Amino acid sequence: MTIATHDTAHAPYGAPTPRHGDDPETFALGLPARPPLLSRGAWLALVALILAIGVGVPLCALVLPQSSALHLSAYSMTLAGKFMCYAIAALALDLVWGYCGVLSLGHGLFFALGGYAIGMYLMREIGHDSVYGSDLPDFMVFLNWHRLPWYWEGTQHLGYALALVVLVPAVVAWVFGFFTFRSRVKGVYLSIITQATTFAAMLLFYRNETGFGGNNGFTDFKRIAGFPITHPGTRTVLFLMTFAALVLAFLAARAIVTSKLGRVVTAVRDGETRLMFLGYSPLGYKLFVWTVSAILCGIAGALYVPQVGIINPSEMSPGNSIEMAIWVAVGGRGTLIGPIIGAFAVNGAKSFFTAYFAEYWLFFLGLIFVLVPLLLPNGIMGLVELALKRMKGTTGTHGTKGARKT
């Protein structure tokens, strides 16, 4: 038997390979067509959302008076901005858990590293407006430090700090992933290792001698890029930057999972051993997705800190990383849009319960953690897909009956 060797190098990806009908000994294997980045309806909805946010938020926050019912307060903008940062982190976790099959319980580490990177710059921006009026951050003066540590050099420049936001989580993730994935650590063992690593980093950052503010971390920020950080205009810009980062992160993740690389990554999740038998080495694919996910978490942390106004080691707590997994599970892992919805839903519930029933929030969170895998294995998006299928089925049935009657 001969296999068709047509020139498919220049054929579009997913196009069926030509067959020779006259030769029964010849067959060709065609790949399914690559799905589009977004459907036409989804593109229209995204453009409409961008226009609504891009125009509506500045209008409601800066133009409308506070007496107006449509005025967007600083608290509401900060809360929504924080939720969007969490959504970026949930999207990042969905890449490695939903598509690569790697459950990380330590992504809070990358989130915090990005926050600390931009926090170092914000502390340097305080300058002589600090309590002690020194060139050093207040906590260093209080601890009787006489000069900046070597790793603080250059952090007075915003460009350098932004580079750290990307590079530090990327390097840490790559080193951790290389040794872990090369050793073929999987499943619950990998989850425990990620959680233990994050906990160890949290304990390290709690120590005053590490030069990261100890228990209190970084706070009391004054300016960013020379602009007052609490000014309504600055807050609006930070909000819009966070929204833009969320949209770009979603499109980038969507581009990855719909590409050839995404097919291999999904194969790693579904059958890593069979993929190795086919001649693929999973190490490079897992490392790539793991590192990209860490970078997205670092960017989320960097956008979170100037809006919330503080970063401390508690952001590395294992509980925060577990919450990220809950966001993904509630929204629906392996869907990209689901984790974004889950982050908003769970944190919205958290804000409500902590405001009115603070003592019951942890019980509610534990209930979500237990019931969602049992009752909603596919999350909110699974319910949406099921409802759409039933609607289509009902419509098709009615259409068929109507055709028979006529």
Going from N- to C-terminal start, the domains of the chain cover 80-317
Render pLDDT for 116-132 as a digit per residue (tens, 0 to 9).
999 999 999 998 888 88
| Across 330-352, average pLDDT | 93
The region of weakest confidence among 26-30, 59-63, 88-92 is 26-30
Confidence of residue 363 (pLDDT cuts 50, 70, 90): confident
Is pLDDT of 368 > 90? Answer: no
Residue 218: beta bridge partners? 311
Give the rounded percent of residues in the chain with a pLDDT score beyond 90.
67
Is pLDDT of 6 > 50? Answer: no
| Across 150-173, average pLDDT | 96
The region of weakest confidence among 45-49, 196-200, 395-399 is 395-399
The region of weakest confidence among 50-64, 77-91, 130-144 is 130-144
Q: What is the pLDDT of residue 264?
A: 93
Render pLDDT for 203-255 as a digit per residue (tens, 0 to 9).
999 999 999 999 999 999 999 999 999 999 999 999 999 999 999 999 999 99
Q: What is the pLDDT of residue 395?
A: 64
What distances in angstroms separate CA 166 from CA 238, 291, 305, 376, one per listed residue?
Answer: 18, 10, 15, 35
Judge whether 136 and 145 are in contact, CB under 8 Å: yes
Is pLDDT of 24 > 60? Answer: no
| Across 386-406, average pLDDT | 64
Q: Which amino acid is at 298?
A: G
Q: Which amino acid is at 289?
A: V
Q: What is the pLDDT of residue 402?
A: 47
Q: What is the pLDDT of residue 390?
A: 85
Query: Taking the model in full, what pTM does it have?
Result: 0.88
| Across 381-394, average pLDDT | 83
What is the sign, positive or negative, of the torsion defined by CA atoms of 154, 157, 163, 165? positive
Q: What is the pLDDT of residue 398?
A: 55
Confidence of residue 366 (pLDDT cuts 50, 70, 90): confident
Q: What is the pLDDT of residue 130?
A: 86
| Across 295-300, average pLDDT | 98
Is pLDDT of 272 > 70? Answer: yes
| Across 22-35, average pLDDT | 58
Q: What is the pLDDT of residue 21?
A: 47
The region of weakest confidence among 14-23, 225-234, 376-385 is 14-23
Bigger pLDDT: 228 vs 370: 228
Q: How far is CA 139 from the centre of its chain?
A: 31
| Across 24-35, average pLDDT | 60
Q: What is the pLDDT of residue 4?
A: 46
* Spatial CB neighbours of 114, under 8 Å, sequence gap ≥ 6: 165, 168, 169, 297, 298, 299, 300, 301, 302
Q: What is the pLDDT of residue 293?
A: 97
Confidence of residue 301 (pLDDT cuts 50, 70, 90): very high
Q: What is the pLDDT of residue 9?
A: 42
Instruction: Calculate the average pLDDT of the chain.
Output: 88
| Across 28-53, average pLDDT | 85
Confidence of residue 7 (pLDDT cuts 50, 70, 90): very low
